[in-house]
Amino acid sequence: MTVRDDGPKLFAHADGDGCVDYEIIDELLALGNTWLLGDLISTYRLEVTSLFRELERALDANDIAAVAKTSHSLSGCSASIGATSLSAAAASIEQLAKTGSLEGYEPLMNEVLARWRCTLRVLGAELLPRFVPGRREASHAQRN
């Protein structure tokens, strides 16, 4: 994705946990209004929740092909929103499934879940309130 450099970026830093690539967030902001980023984040959160349900079903059924497909989707949509560490963790599960076995998936899934929690914290608590009207007030009220 090529984006013009029109000066300082809103998020020209990386979060301490490395779960979100703020350069990608800046690129997404450059594509449209800030409400667009809020909409993308909201849609992403819903999509990933659905993908986790699919992944859980596939793992429970030992459906290797479905695990590979769902992990691939999770990795791709995460990369597109800047959740690069979640993307990499999901890609690890996809690669395991492509070996034809799911043996040893548990530690990989634990990493995926840890990266998801980190991503939710950054996107939901730090970024979403900035771009969705009413979220800042709701977020502030929940902390008090």
Q: Is the pLDDT of residue 94 over 80?
A: yes
Fold of 22-132: Four Helix Bundle (Hemerythrin (Met), subunit A) (1.20.120)
The dihedrals phi and psi of 12, each to the nearest 5 degrees, come to -90, 50
The pLDDT of 47-66, averaged and rounded, is: 96
In angstroms, rounded to a whole number, what is the distance separating the alpha carbons of residues 92 and 23? 23
Segment 102-129, tens digit of pLDDT: 999 999 999 999 999 999 888 877 776 6
Q: Band the pLDDT of 50: cuts 50, 70, 90.
A: very high
81 and 23 Cβ atoms separated by less than 8 Å = no
Q: Is the pLDDT of residue 133 over 80?
A: no
User: How many residues are there in the chain?
Assistant: 144
First vs last C-alpha separation in the chain? 40
Q: How far is CA 122 from the centre of its chain?
A: 10
38 and 128 Cβ atoms separated by less than 8 Å = yes
Q: Higher-confidence residue: 24 or 92?
A: 92
Segment 21-37, tens digit of pLDDT: 988 888 888 887 777 78
